[in-house]
Amino acid sequence: MLCRLGGRWLRPLPALHRRAGDPPLVPVPTSGAKRPTLPVWAVAPVSAVDGNGWYEALATSSPVRVAEEVLLGVHATTGLPWWGGILLSTVALRGAVTLPLAAYQHYILAKVENLQPEIKTIAKHLNQEVAVRANQLGWSKRVARLTYLKNMRRLVSEIYVRDNCHPFKATVLVWIQIPVWVFMSVALRNFSTGATHSE
């Protein structure tokens, strides 16, 4: 059912479905007493809402525990406040992991870019060869195009292997940086909710 309010159509919110393990909802007083700002279920940690879910498995995984140990070690070693320890850990991780991988990514992309003139020359010669063979054998345009694409893919792949600069290597930074960010974020959340085993 849609309701009209101020010229806009609104949909009613779906009802909350409670499970057996959910904490009880706090009744809201209807008299003149002050209402609580948030119900209990709204401030419950994720682990209390879904104890056996994917997030709980992630929060207790060994990479997250390693991230917690790194943060604790930086905090204990330097004696900095938590915000300083987090800042120092971030700068150290970016300097030790992200910076070298970013330099490697730029190196690979530069090698790929330097190969573009050679690839264009090969494409031009291959296009001429395929056109000659298509005229000799009576290929249709579709067959000639598929033959060109198949051979071009093979030749470009051989060039990348020869120079050891496949463009997929340039994505290593993303595949390393995203998990590190996720593990560090979950470790910080474990600290903020008190879900870690440390003090």
Per residue in 167-184, pLDDT tens?
888 888 889 989 999 999
Q: Could you report the per-residue pLDDT of 11-67, keeping only the tens digit for each?
A: 554 555 555 555 565 555 555 555 555 544 444 444 444 456 888 888 888 888 998
Overall pTM > 0.85: no
CA distances from 181 to 67, 73, 151, 174 (A): 10, 18, 40, 10
* C-beta separation of 180 from 95 below 8 A: no
According to the model, what pLDDT value does residue 47 have?
44
Compute the CA torsion angle 3, 6, 9, 15 (nearest 10 deg): -50
